[in-house]
Amino acid sequence: MKTRLKTGQKVQGAEIICECLLRAGVTAIFGYPGGANIPIYDALYKYPELRHVLVRHEQGAAHAAEGYAWVTGRPGVCFATSGPGATNLVTGLADAMLDSIPIVAITGQVPSSLLGTDAFQEADMLGVTLPVTKHNYLVTKTEDIASVFSEAFFLAVSGRPGPVLIDITKDAQVNYAQFQYKENNEHLKNRLKLTATKEELAEIADLLNNAERPLIVAGHGVLLSGDGKTLLSVAEKQDIPVTLTQLGLSTIPQNHPLYMGMPGMHGNVAANRAPLETDVLLAVGMRFHDRVTSKTSLYAPQAKIIHIDIDPSEIGKNIMPALGVVGDAKLVLKQLLPFLQQKKNPLWLKKFEVWKKEEKDKVFTKELESPKLKSAQVINEIARQTDFEATIVADVGQNQMYAARYYQYRKYNSHFTSGGLGTMGFALPAGMGAKLGDPAREVWITIGDGGIQMTLQELATIVQEKTEVKIALLNNNYLGMVRQWQELFYKGNYSEVQLKNPDFQKLCEGFGIKSLKAKNLRQAREAIGIARKTRGPFLIEFVVQAEENVFPMIPAGAGIGEMVVSKEELK
């Protein structure tokens, strides 16, 4: 982008902010104006290159910034005013922090003379956001703005990505200073360890070269490193089966013969059985989340575990590895490749075929051949019609598990969801942000009737911005995941999970979004086809079986060996 300001030019702080955004490569901002950030919006008027998306709630701005960052690899940017505007970003910041999404949140603050006086719409954003950001800043002097912005954008993407917040007092926005922009962040770069040592590589290779039943568990860190091909090269060289965590889905094509599914509470049978039989487990760019391991003392106790992660604090935090290596997933795997011997593992791979058949017979066939419309059928049909290459932005709950289990991702980096925080309502604004970040993508938002009502107001933003997202609303008139647990583990006591929902077709009409309703598989197929041919946003309400359950599942507090493959096993 063409820069506007020259070094040494004296301008207002608000204009310096816009210039810094321009130099950081920002193309879209998701925000909401208010009294404490109105000078920034006044300066923004002079910068038409910076597209501003007016969300309807600041939480939507943060989630949209996440979706934008996910597709572009660059920090998503969100604006909010002081007080409630800024605090409304917190859920999105926490979500980005747990899922390692780079966003830069820029909030207005009361004038510096009023700090600490409980002024109108004053909130201590440094204190509020300290636990949910990689770093945060309070800027009270105009001359500090440019250096803070340069550092903030670097921090957001360096090492393990994450959210950074810049809180700027109103007087710093309106006062004048000379523009001095520095991109030199060498003092920060030197703190990162990105590659493995020769000794670490030799030890990893020795373990894998001598393994009889090796297993790879790869997570979001591999996607963030920007390379699934190297992971596949390692797997193919030694015939190592690969499992992908929920946030790691779409790192490698799911139709690859070495792909063995997603581990976790509602993961695939093979992916959950394998850790109990592997002798060497290579964990790359994942953090041994409780939803993956279940009871940690029962997770792969017989295996020698190698853990590669860019964040040193993750090594040994949940599972103690035999070897922990701090480094970038892509770089370490590339380093490792020449050290690995070519190997085949036909007997080990045959076990996975047995486990896959068990799941097919007990779960997949029943779900996909159900006479009543089920969520699995909807996701499977979207996958079929989009040739498995659409980007799926999944919300949280049962719909999230169906999107993870039944889409069969074949395109790199095409599955987004809220993993660590599990934020209901995430998908609607995040899907909008993803589409705006990469308009060439076909974006489908999968969301439940509970989740959509948490961020429903962003339908107005989607219409205003003419964002061509397709929304698959899986409506069972329940908070489905909670209801499933109540049915299976709380004697069927359905406490506060049944929803009296609005008429979603009338709601869509009010917002100006075209919509259809599907009650069976034939109608679902037709509706998906129509939605794909229709320009602009489109919502399909799929009326799915009210009391459908996601299987397999691992009960809370159990080990992965106690996985329940079908409901019949609970009787």
The SS3 of residue 53 is strand
Q: Element (H or E) spanning 393, and its range?
A: strand 391-394
Q: Which of 252, 261, 212, 221 is nearest to 234 (CA)?
A: 252
Give the integer Cα–Cα distance in Å for 539 and 528. 10
**Tokens 């791979």 -> residue:** 349
CB 85 within 8 A of CB 107: yes
DSSP classification of residue 542: E
Give the integer Cα–Cα distance in Å for 554 and 561. 9
DSSP classification of residue 369: T
**Tokens 């992971």 -> residue:** 231
CB 499 within 8 A of CB 479: yes
Give the residue numbers marked as catalytic: 58, 120-121, 170, 481
- The residue type found at 87 is T
Contact residues for 281 (Cβ-Cβ < 8 A; gap 6+)? 214, 215, 216, 217, 275, 300, 303, 304, 305, 306
Distances (CA, A) of 10 to 21, 39, 168, 184: 18, 16, 18, 22
CB 221 within 8 A of CB 286: yes
**Tokens 């086809």 -> residue:** 529
The SS3 of residue 201 is helix
Give the integer Cα–Cα distance in Å for 278 and 560. 13
Q: Which of 61, 178, 48, 5 is nearest to 455 (CA)?
A: 61
Q: Which of 278, 298, 277 is nearest to 288 (CA)?
A: 298
The token pair at 359 is: 């799941």
Tallying the residues shown for the chain, one arrives at: 571
Give the integer Cα–Cα distance in Å for 359 and 274. 14
The token pair at 343 is: 């190997």
The token pair at 533 is: 């041919």
- The residue type found at 252 is I
